[in-house]
Every structure is written in C-alpha cells, then in structure tokens.
C-alpha cells in the first residue's frame, strides 16, 4: 500500500498551530488581570537632586533643587565639559539654545522613575531664576526654563523592563548599570555595566557574561572604568543583605577588556585621576570608612601592586565617597554619626584630616544620599526627599502603576502590606504601614472609601470567595516563634457592629496565613501548636471547634499557604530542605495531603515566598531572591530584604518572568481576576519622607576613644527653609520607538590628550597613565549665565 504523501506545508501548519495554541494559553493566563504588591518604603521617598556650593558655611538659600519634583530622582552626576557639548547636541530645540552665547548653567545626568515606575536615565539642562530674569523681554523667551530628555531608548516595543542606575557620560558614551539580561543562574544578580553611544544608540555590555557589576565609575580621561563586583564567587545568599563582599575591578571603558581585580573588599569607587580612586568598605573595627587606592605608575595592576590607604578615621560611618578630577584637597562622603538618626553629606579635608559639615547645617532632620562633585570642585550634589508637594509636583500614591512587560497584565505597587483584591476586583484589603500601622484596612480599587475595619495588630489578608464582605487575617505579632499567641480571625468588614470579628482558632500557638477554599467551606492555615509550624485545615465558618485536619508534618516550617482557584492544589513556602535556615522554596500539595512537589525543582538554597495563584490557576506569582541584589544596599534607604523581586511562573515550573527591577524589597503579591487600568491613585493620608536610613548604620562600635565630634568651629544650624520653587515643568519628548541598534564593532577613539597605553602585561592592565590636564566647568550661581572653561 502506498504511503500517503504529507506536504511540508502540512508540517508548517502543525507548527504554526502549536505556536498559536501556546500563544493563546499564554495570553489567556494574563489577559485582563492585575497583580498588586508591596514595596518597602518606596512610596515615601520623593527624592529630588540638589546642589550646594562648597563654601565655608553653606546657607539654606544657597541650596538649589535641580530636578523638577516629579516622581523619584536620584544618583545624579554633573557632566564634564566634553560630555556637556555632546549632551546639548542631543537636545531637540537647538535653534533656540544656540541663540545663547553660553550653555545652561545647570546640567545634570540622573536616574528617574517617572516612566510608569521604571527607572531610566535623563539629562536636564536648567536655567535658574536669575537667568530667567536676565532673559525677560528678549529673543530667548521661547527657550524653556528646563530642557529634559531621556538618554536611553524606551524599550516598550521590546517589552523589556529593567533597572537603570549609576550613570556617567564619558565623551559620546553613557556608562551605566542595567538589569535587562538574565544570567540564567538562581541567586545571581542581573546587574551589569553597559556602554551606549549617545548619538547612534549602539550598546555593548562591558561586564563579562555570568558576572555582576555595581556602582561603575569612569576615570577622568574615560580610559578606565572601576566597578564593585563579586567576580566569579557570586552573591552569598545567607549573609549579604547589608555589606556586599565585592571587590574593585578595573577594565578598559571602550570594550570591557583587560579586566583585573585592583582591590579586595570594597565598593562605590570614585576616580580622582587615571590611577587613583577612592572607595568604601566596612573595616574590621566595625566602622564604614573611605579608602584610597593608588595603582602603579607602570607595570601590571594587581591587588599586590595597588596601594590602599584608609582615609576617614574611626568614630563615625563614612561611605559613598565622591571626588573630582585632580582634586587632592577634599572628598565628599555620606556620614552617619553617633547620636544622629540621619545621613548627611560632609567634606573630608585631605590635608587637615578633618570633616566639614554641609547638609546638617541646612536640613538637620533629612536624609541626604550619594554625593557627587562638579568637575571644577565648586559644588556638591546629592539627593534627598523634597517633602510635601507644591503645585503640580508628584503626590503620594496608595496605588502606583508600574509598567508591565506582559500584554494584558497591569501591575501596581501598593503602599500597604498584604494587599489583596476582592473576588470581584472592586475592593482591596491590606495592612496599613503608617499612621495606625498594623491594622486592617479596606478601600475601593479607585482609592475611595478607605477605612480601617479591624483595629488590632494583624498580618496577611484573604477574602472569602462566596460570602461578600468577609475577610480572614492573623492577629498577633509577625515573625514570632511557634509558642507566641497568634490567632486566625474572620472579619465582617460591612458590619456596623464594633465586635465585627470572630476568632476561629482555639490554640493560640502561632496560627496564621489563612486561605479559604474556592467553595468557601474550608480554611488552610499554618500553626505552631506541635512545636513546628505546619499546615492545617479547618471549617471556614465555625473554625477549629468544628474539626481540624493536619495537612503537613515535620520538624520544619511550612507557611504562607494559598488555595488554588479550582480547589485542587495548595501552595505554600517551606524550609524543609534546610530547616531553621534562611532557605525557603514553594511547594504544591493536594488538600488530601497527596501529590507533594516542589514548584521549581532546580532551585535550591534561595528564598521564595508569598506565592499566589493566577485567576485561572495555571500560573503563580511570588517574591524571590532569584535575581539577587541589584545595587549596593548602603546606597538606598533601609530595606529588610533588598533582593525581593516579583516573578511569575507556570505551575509546571516553566516560563519564568521577572516583573520588577529595582533596588527595593518587594513582596506579598496578589493576582486579581479584574483588569485595573494602569493609573495612579493618590493617597489622601499622604505621609511624605516617612522612611528610615539603613538600620545597620545604627550599629556603632563601642568607642575606645571619644566619638569623632562635629567640627567645634561650626555655628549651630539655622532653621530649615523651603528650597526655591522649581521652574515650570516641560514635558519630555516622546521616547524613541525604535529598539537600540546592535553593539558597535569599533571601540571609541582614545581621548586626544591621553597617549595610548603600551601593550598590556600578561597579568593585567599596565597602569601607565600620566597626569592628564582636564577641562573643567565652573558653575557660578551668582552669575548664572556665565560658564567659565578653565584648564
């Protein structure tokens, strides 16, 4: 019998049909749904970038706010003169700009989260009030007071959302950190250093594949870049949430080649010349301090040939150092002193070996972060919280839209913990973290009717799927031992009675994280009644008195349980692989105790928690340390677990997607069956700047000598005043619609004033950098239209 002939077109049809089915399944899982999650502290930051002149005694009226009061703006840099000319050439309205005889007096490169909560790098050219007055009734009145452009293409078309950080412009190139590439290894950071040609968009990765780099700094000539990096040893999951065990690596900026380890144990490098940089580390005496590294004038750069000298003395924490080209007189540092709850910016005199205060004299009860110095050493910049908004400045949001990379899915950052949508998606219950914190609140999804419904301390929330207005929570202390009194309660949020709750558990031994079955008959929860935290099931209405079924048993912790929408599975987190440690994985089990399996079998040794089913039960969202840490923790305010990011994955362990990219701790995600329009909802109870500095900076070693004092010659700080109002905001131009071109094949030409280095030593970079004359820009704030170029 002749075999039937199957045309190649038939196989092509089957292949396309398979792709179509896969795409439909993917689309249906996320279509018309929303995910909501909590971010630690981020709702209260309201950072703007400011500048102060470096004078004997700074005054409040000398502080200039450079950024515009919209969103969160941080990690600024003043561009060098050569970079300034390149940046101005990128501006859209150059005809008007060229009518001026000099460039704008204030130029800034910085990170901003104004693009739907996702960071990008911007350039602002700003005329201050004096220059506006000077330009009145002139031909330049059409020139805006602020010209603002993004320096990187917006990858909306490519659906690539990532964190951008720590930018520097060197010549025609932007050097920065991005997290858009997954190394494919659990608990490995996605942070890597990239270089983008500003005029063409050609981008290349400078960090080797499989390696993470943080806090890049480019040398004055642009020849070298220094970074904080783990190298090949990777992130230590168990202990690195405060100080990272990074070393300082140096490589050629043009292509990332000739990479060598220059210093062991250090972070946040800052170059003063092409063979000298400062960095910070926590010393053996317990103090964060600034050090200077000097590379050899010739010969290979190795940890054995680089000279390291401690610069700041013990007695206070000094970190995130900044310097300027050729500056051998002082550095700028952030400090945390004994007896102070605030981080401030100070100068350290390298000749007199003493500190000089800056920001405490102006805003004594405000945190100031991550200083940077102008190329001519006349101004210091930093970012701080701007306070309550004025005019059209950004408000505090209770529900903040974050750009989603998944079609059909909207994503929201929420101001409270354990936010959960009601079954219909029209209400949200959550734990308030400010004001009457720790209490249970409910609001409509548009932010209206926001009210407290349970006035006792609680954590975790869940809605009853069949009885409207009934929510479940845990009342008592969180992060408590098995023997602590914690109970599961149901709360009728629509009842007008004051006694609107019912305690469902009888044994108060840490009963928590209740989740109802989809028919509303049962509750799964964790309990420490056996001496270990395991899972149990009880009646959802009558509670434990109607009977109790034990679901898991063992000398470990099973917790954070959630029932699947079809009732077949229960998700939970467990440390059963390493009981009592910091390792948690997500597991699935049937309600009858069978079918136990790990959600992602190949993961181990990390922390994955707070799993939540998609509305169709085919996918799961959770928070995890899969992508490790994205920035040095000391460079941001306090984060308990800065590695927490939000992910989704299919229940078969396939198709992992990272949803959030930032340096903050994100957690307690929940998935709604209703699509919420991606808009921001203002918080009527706005509390601005309500965040704390890194808690580990409170740790002050017992002094063997009196603590390093504030300079005795400084006058008492004057009362704080409001910074001058910002110039009117100009909308940024629309983002580019084309993806960036492929990486360049040719490196940038070397700086004209820098002789080419000799052939490299087989063991590393030959540090033959001679002293280099550097072109400096002078900022003259009392003459804002005058910019002096000096050699």
The CA distance from 501 to 487, in Å, is: 12
Q: Please, what are the domains in the chain?
A: 30-40+395-687 (2.120.10.30), 47-385 (2.120.10.30)
3-state helix/strand/coil string of 215-277: EEEECCCCCEEEEEECCCCCCCCCCCCCCCCCEEEEEECCCCCCCEEEECCCEEEEEEECCEE
**Is residue 735 over pLDDT 50?**
no
pLDDT bin (cut points 50, 70, 90) of residue 533 is: very high
CA dihedral 607, 611, 614, 615 (to 10 degrees): 180
Asked whether 341 and 689 are in contact (CB, 8 A), the reply is: no
**Is residue 155 over pLDDT 60?**
no
Say what the pTM is.
Answer: 0.84
Asked whether 277 and 293 are in contact (CB, 8 A), the reply is: yes
What pLDDT is stored for residue 20 in this prediction?
Answer: 44
Asked whether 383 and 49 are in contact (CB, 8 A), the reply is: yes
Q: Write the pLDDT tens digit of every residue in 338-364.
A: 999 999 999 999 999 999 999 999 999
What pLDDT is stored for residue 446 in this prediction?
Answer: 87
Q: Write the pLDDT tens digit of every residue in 71-97.
A: 999 999 999 988 888 888 887 665 445
Q: Write the pLDDT tens digit of every residue in 653-679.
A: 999 999 999 999 999 999 999 999 999
pLDDT bin (cut points 50, 70, 90) of residue 757 is: very low
The CA distance from 538 to 546, in Å, is: 7
What pLDDT is stored for residue 664 in this prediction?
Answer: 95
**Is residue 443 over pLDDT 80?**
yes
What pLDDT is stored for residue 94 in this prediction?
Answer: 56
- Residues paired with 566 in a beta bridge: none
Both tokens of 256, joined, read 């990332």
Q: What DSSP designation does 607 have?
A: B
What pLDDT is stored for residue 154 in this prediction?
Answer: 64
CA dihedral 540, 543, 546, 549 (to 10 degrees): 80
pLDDT above 70 as % of the chain: 80
Q: How many CA atoms lie within 13 A of 586 on its CB side?
A: 29
Asked whether 245 and 228 are in contact (CB, 8 A), the reply is: no
Asked whether 578 and 555 are in contact (CB, 8 A), the reply is: no
The CA distance from 62 to 46, in Å, is: 21
Asked whether 648 and 613 are in contact (CB, 8 A), the reply is: no
Q: What is the mean pLDDT of residues 505-531?
A: 95
Q: What DSSP designation does 717 have?
A: P
Burial pattern 482-500, b for ≥16 Cβ within 10 A else e, equals beeebbbbbbbbeeeeeee
**Is residue 255 over pLDDT 90?**
yes
CA dihedral 729, 733, 739, 741 (to 10 degrees): -100
- The single residue listed with the structure tokens 């896969």 is 22
Q: Write the pLDDT tens digit of every residue in 601-610.
A: 988 888 999 9
Those residues with Cβ within 8 angstroms of residue 299's Cβ, 6 or more apart along the chain or in another chain: 305, 761, 766, 767
pLDDT bin (cut points 50, 70, 90) of residue 308 is: very high
- Measure CA of the first residue to CA of the last residue in the chain; give whole Å: 91
What distance lies between CA 272 and its chain's CA centroid? 28
Of 416, 450, 419, the closest CA to residue 433 belongs to: 416
Q: Can you list the pairs that 175-178 forms with residues at least 24 positions away whose Cβ atoms lie under 8 Å?
A: 175/206, 175/216, 175/218, 175/225, 175/253, 176/121, 176/152, 176/216, 177/213, 177/214, 177/215, 177/216, 177/630, 177/631
What pLDDT is stored for residue 728 in this prediction?
Answer: 45
Instruction: For the beta carbon of residue 273, count every other beta carbon within 10 angstroms.
Output: 21
Asked whether 480 and 510 are in contact (CB, 8 A), the reply is: yes
Of 783, 596, 789, the closest CA to residue 131 belongs to: 783
The CA distance from 366 to 54, in Å, is: 19
Of 144, 53, 68, 51, the closest CA to residue 104 belongs to: 144
- Residues paired with 490 in a beta bridge: 472, 502
**Is residue 434 over pLDDT 70?**
no
Radius of gyration over every alpha carbon of the chain, rounded to an integer in angstroms: 28
Asked whether 609 and 624 are in contact (CB, 8 A), the reply is: yes
Asked whether 423 and 407 are in contact (CB, 8 A), the reply is: no
What distance lies between CA 708 and its chain's CA centroid? 32
Identify each DSSP E strand in 625-760 by its residue range: 645-650, 657-658, 666-672, 681-682
């Amino acid at each position: 019998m002749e075999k039937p002939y199957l045309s190649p077109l038939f196989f092509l049809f089957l292949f396309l049909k398979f792709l179509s089915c896969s795409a439909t399944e993917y689309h249906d899982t996320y279509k018309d749904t929303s995910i909501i999650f909590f971010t630690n502290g981020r709702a209260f930051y309201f950072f703007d970038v400011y500048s102060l002149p470096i004078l004997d005694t700074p005054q409040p009226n000398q502080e200039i706010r450079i950024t515009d009061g919209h969103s969160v703006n941080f990690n600024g840099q003043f561009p060098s003169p050569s970079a300034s000319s390149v940046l101005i050439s990128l501006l859209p309205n150059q005809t008007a700009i060229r009518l001026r005889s000099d460039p704008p007096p204030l130029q800034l490169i910085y990170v901003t989260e104004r693009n739907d909560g996702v960071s990008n790098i911007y350039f602002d050219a700003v005329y201050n009030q004096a220059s506006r007055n000077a330009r009145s009734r002139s031909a330049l009145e059409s020139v805006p007071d602020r010209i603002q452009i993004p320096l990187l293409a917006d990858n909306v078309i490519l659906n690539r959302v990532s964190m951008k950080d720590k930018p520097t412009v060197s010549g025609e190139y932007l050097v920065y950190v991005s997290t858009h590439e997954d190394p494919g290894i659990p608990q490995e950071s996605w942070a890597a250093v990239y270089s983008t040609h500003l005029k063409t968009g050609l981008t290349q990765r400078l960090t080797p594949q499989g390696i993470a780099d943080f806090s890049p700094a480019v040398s004055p000539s642009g020849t070298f870049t220094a970074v904080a990096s783990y190298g090949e040893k990777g992130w230590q999951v168990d202990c690195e949430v405060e100080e990272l065990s990074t070393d300082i690596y140096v490589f050629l900026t043009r292509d990332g080649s000739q990479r060598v380890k220059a210093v062991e144990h250090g972070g946040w490098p800052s170059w003063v010349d092409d063979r000298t940089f400062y960095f910070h580390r926590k010393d053996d005496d317990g103090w964060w301090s600034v050090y200077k590294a000097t590379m050899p004038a010739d010969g290979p750069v190795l940890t054995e040939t680089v000279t390291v000298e401690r610069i700041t003395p013990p007695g206070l924490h000094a970190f995130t150092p900044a310097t300027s080209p050729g500056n051998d007189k002082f550095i700028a540092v952030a400090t945390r002193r004994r007896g102070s709850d605030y981080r401030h910016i100070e100068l350290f005199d390298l000749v007199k070996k003493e500190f000089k205060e800056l920001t405490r004299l102006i805003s004594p009860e405000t945190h100031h972060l991550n200083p940077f110095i102008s190329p001519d050493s006349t101004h210091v910049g930093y970012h701080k919280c701007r306070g309550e908004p004025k005019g059209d400045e950004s408000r505090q949001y209770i529900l903040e839209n974050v750009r989603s990379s998944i079609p059909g899915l909207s994503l929201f950052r929420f101001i409270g913990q354990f936010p959960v949508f009601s079954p219909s998606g029209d209400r949200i219950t959550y734990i308030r973290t400010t004001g009457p914190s720790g209490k249970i609140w409910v609001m409509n999804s548009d932010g209206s009717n926001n009210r407290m419904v349970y006035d006792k301390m609680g954590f975790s929330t869940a809605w009853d799927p069949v009885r409207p207005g009934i929510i479940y929570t845990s009342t008592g202390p969180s992060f408590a031992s098995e023997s602590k009194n914690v109970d599961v309660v149901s709360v009728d949020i629509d009842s007008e009675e004051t006694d609107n709750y019912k305690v469902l558990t009888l044994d108060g031994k840490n009963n928590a994280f209740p989740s109802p079955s989809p028919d509303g008959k049962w509750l799964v929860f964790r309990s420490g009644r056996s001496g270990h935290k395991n899972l149990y099931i009880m009646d959802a209405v009558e509670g434990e008195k109607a009977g109790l079924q034990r679901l898991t048993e063992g000398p470990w912790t099973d917790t954070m349980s959630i029932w699947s929408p079809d009732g077949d599975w229960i998700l939970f987190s467990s440390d059963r692989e390493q009981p009592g440690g910091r390792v948690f994985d997500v597991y699935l089990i049937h309600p009858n105790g069978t079918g136990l399996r790990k959600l992602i079998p190949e993961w181990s040794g990390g922390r994955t928690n707070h799993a939540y089913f998609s509305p169709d039960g085919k996918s799961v969202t959770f928070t995890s340390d899969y992508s490790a840490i994205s920035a040095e923790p000391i460079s941001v305010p306090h984060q308990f677990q800065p590695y927490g990011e939000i992910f989704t994955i299919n229940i078969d362990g396939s198709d992992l997607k990272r949803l959030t990219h930032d340096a903050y701790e994100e957690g307690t995600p929940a998935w709604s069956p209703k699509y919420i329009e991606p808009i921001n909802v203002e918080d009527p109870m706005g509390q601005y700047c309500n965040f704390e500095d890194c808690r580990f900076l409170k740790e002050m070693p017992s002094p063997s000598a009196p603590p390093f004092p504030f300079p005795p010659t400084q006058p008492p700080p004057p009362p704080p005043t409001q910074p001058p109002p910002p110039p009117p905001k100009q909308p940024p131009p629309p983002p580019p619609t084309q993806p960036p071109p492929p990486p360049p094949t040719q490196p940038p030409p070397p700086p004209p004033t820098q002789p080419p280095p000799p052939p490299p030593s087989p063991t590393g970079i030959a540090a033959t950098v001679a002293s280099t004359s550097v072109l400096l820009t002078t900022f003259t704030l009392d003459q804002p239209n005058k910019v002096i170029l000096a050699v």
